[in-house]
Structure 1
Amino acid sequence: MTTISAPPQRRESRLKGFLTSRPVMKLRRNKLAMFGLVIVLVFVLIAFFAPFIARPSTEAGGNCLRDLNLSSPNQIYNPANSGFWRALFAAPPSCYSIERESFAPNPTPPSPQAYFGTSQGYDIFYGLIWGTRTMFKLALIIVSITLVVGIIIGAISGFYGGWIDNLIQRFIDVIFALPGLVLTIILVTFLRARNPGVDPLFPIIVAYTVAGWASYARIVRGEVLRTRQLEYVDAARSLGARDWRLILKHVVPNSLASVITIAVLDLGTIPLSVAALSFLGLGFPTGYAEWGQLVDFARAWLQPQFWWVMVYPAAFIILFSLGFNLFGDALRDAYDPKSR
């Protein structure tokens, strides 16, 4: 006798379930959050398509085109050329050098050759567009490393408690006792002095990681202290689950909502701190495509007749920070259980 089983019910896709979840629906109804998300997406597109928006030229030296094996600026738009793909995904360091139209110290106003004008002879438009790539690269690397380190140390501290928790928390207290920017400046200065020929990204990433992981660790510790006492953790422990399995599979995944929202906010604040380092002369070498460089160039020309030297860099910095802050604040509110 053959039995006909009922067809299995169609399971709702994970994507649809995510898009219709309460936090996401709350985000979608928040107009400021959507406005911030649009700003962030615009900057993402600017960073990704930087070689096409501010294409390298031959008039300003042509080092970027040479390293991309291109003979003419228009060739960068041709997908058949290897330089097209290399510019998108692995642009050489020479492409991050701001093109210099002249060596005249006086700023020149916006023109077809330099859409945002020049400052110290450097093309502001080129520096801002390629600087967006620099900002995203730094923000993503620094936040990713500090987030992972903070989660691991915070989870160990909260899960085991005792002398391990005491030791970690006292070390975190020492880090919090020092102003973050001062600690970062000290570390960057020390690392650059000990490694004079190193890539400028290295000391900045290390300094921000050392100064930034503690805030994530403290948040994760608090969440782990709450979740480790829940019934499903006790059930997994009674079934013989090892500590690392409990931490990685059961405790940490249910403690990430608050720390992820802080990470989104940090994506918008870290570029501001990096720009401050460059303004103080501790960031990238002169002429590197980075927003703080352009603010530093404008310092000697803060006069109404030279408005463009500060307005355009300030607009990029403010909008970048505004987008992440609007979206990050809304994300935090959406995933806050107290606001439901």
Structure 2
Amino acid sequence: MTIDTLETAETDRDVMTANRNETYLALVWRRLKRSWSGMLGLVLVIFLLVVAIFADFLSPADPRVTGESYQPPQVVTVFGEDGQFVFPPRVYPYGETGELDPVTFQPLVGIDYANPQIIGLFVKGAPHKLLGFIPMDRHFIGATDGSVIHFLGTDKLGRDVLSRILYGSRISLLIALTVVSVITVVGTSVGMTSGYLGGPIDAWVQRLVELVLAFPQLPFYLALASLIPVTAPTKVFLGFVIVVMSALGWAQMSREVRGKTMGLVRMDYVRAAIAVGATDRRIIFRHILPNVMSHVIVAVTLAIPTVVLLEAFLGFLGFAVKPPMISWGLMLRDTSNYSVIGAYPWLLSPVGFVLVTVFAFNAFGDGLRDAIDPY
């Protein structure tokens, strides 16, 4: 045997020893890092969560303050009126040029190069409470003179679109995470219990599951939403959205977990636990639950974008949260008119954040599924 063969054998033995010493989570993480789409999704998910938590600090303006309506997005540039390079970056606001439109006789609005807004970090602005209880007036980015910069323009009431999108991420992600959490707990518990016990209990539970799955979700939701008074508090609408989505969503998770459980019941380690007299509760939560968690985790990451899309769609129809709450779907109600979209296309900005959210969780869930699956 040559020296190269010996070195190769020792290297292979070291790799095998390292793999045996790795925990399950370490193996999953190592597989996940090989998927560029999964890692990109993970980074975007973390970014979205940070944006939702620190929306007050990241927002350049107070989303409730009104101003000039339908102001177009202001462009950040490092070049002056004469094309000369300037730093730090600055924004030139829009102002009246002093001329009138020859047809409508309305004042013409153009770029005001005489009054630039200099961009800065950690600038003073509208007072807010960081994390809901820390009073401060610093914002991550804005104008150094305290004026408001509309990076994505303003809506029909003159409110900053970017700030409303950042604040809206809280409601949209809160609804998605809460609904998916309820669906996961209820669906997993019902599915494991039904699949493990079998017999008449399983038969009756599956008839209930089939009844829930048979409901046409959208018409059923709209019918229930019409029963809530318009004057009801905004929290009532928020709670209603979460309850209805959870009540109609747990059945599919239950059916999937039941199928996994029925396969695990036939495994030798479960039969051995039954033979030694282990209780049903111990078998379900100590032997079956850890083995279905891989499927549940992947199902959760794939269910979150579905709920985000559903909330955006219902908010667009006006059956989700109500003002003064802010969500991406509620913001898209302003784009229900083709003329508005053609004249003020920046109002479609929330669509971009919805697409990023859906892609992030789908890509992360797809990469996590491949990392968890041992085959």
Alignment TM-score > 0.5, same fold = yes
Residue equivalent to 1:323: 360
Residue equivalent to 1:31: 36
What are structure 2's unaligned runs of at least 5 residues?
A: 1-17, 67-123, 136-146
Residue identity opposite 1:308 in structure 2: W
Could you tell me whether the CA contact under 8 Å between 2:341 and 2:347 is conserved in 1?
A: no
Residues 46 and 131 (structure 1), Cα distance of their counterparts in 2 relative to 1, 3 Å cut = same
Matches within 5 A, 1:196-215: 196-197=232-233, 199-215=236-252
CA deviation after TM superposition for structure 1 residue 179, in Å:
2.9
Residues 85 and 263 (structure 1), Cα distance of their counterparts in 2 relative to 1, 3 Å cut = closer
Rounded to whole Å, the distance in 2 between the matches of 1:135 and 1:289 is 9
Could you tell me whether the CA contact under 8 Å between 2:182 and 2:246 is conserved in 1?
A: yes
Residue equivalent to 1:218: 255
Rounded to whole Å, the distance in 1 between the matches of 2:340 and 2:230 is 36
Instruction: Pick the structure with more helix per residue.
Output: 1
**Larger RCO (CA under 8 A, 6+ residues apart):** 1
Rounded to whole Å, the distance in 2 between the matches of 1:232 and 1:151 is 21
Could you tell me whether the CA contact under 8 Å between 1:274 and 1:292 is conserved in 2?
A: yes
CA RMSD of aligned residues (A): 3.0
Rounded to whole Å, the distance in 2 between the matches of 1:294 and 1:59 is 13
Rounded to whole Å, the distance in 1 between the matches of 2:220 and 2:63 is 42
What are structure 1's unaligned runs of at least 5 residues?
A: 1-11, 62-71, 77-82, 91-110
1:178 aligns with 2:215: yes
Rounded to whole Å, the distance in 1 between the matches of 2:288 and 2:33 is 29
Over the matched positions of the two proteins, sequence identity in percent amounts to 30
Residue equivalent to 2:308: 271
How many residue pairs get aligned? The number is: 288
TM-score by length of 2: 0.69
Residue equivalent to 2:23: 17
Residue equivalent to 1:116: 152
Rounded to whole Å, the distance in 2 between the matches of 1:58 and 1:294 is 12
TM-score by length of 1: 0.76
Rounded to whole Å, the distance in 2 between the matches of 1:146 and 1:19 is 24
Rounded to whole Å, the distance in 2 between the matches of 1:329 and 1:286 is 35
Matches within 5 A, 1:1-340: 17-18=23-24, 20-21=26-27, 23-54=28-59, 57=62, 60=65, 73=125, 76=128, 83-87=129-133, 112-121=148-157, 122-190=159-227, 192-193=228-229, 196-197=232-233, 199-300=236-337, 301-310=339-348, 312-337=349-374, 340=375
Residue equivalent to 2:12: none
From the CA coordinates, give the structure whose radius of gyration is larger: 2
Instruction: Pick the structure with more strand per residue.
Output: 2
Residue identity opposite 1:169 in structure 2: Q
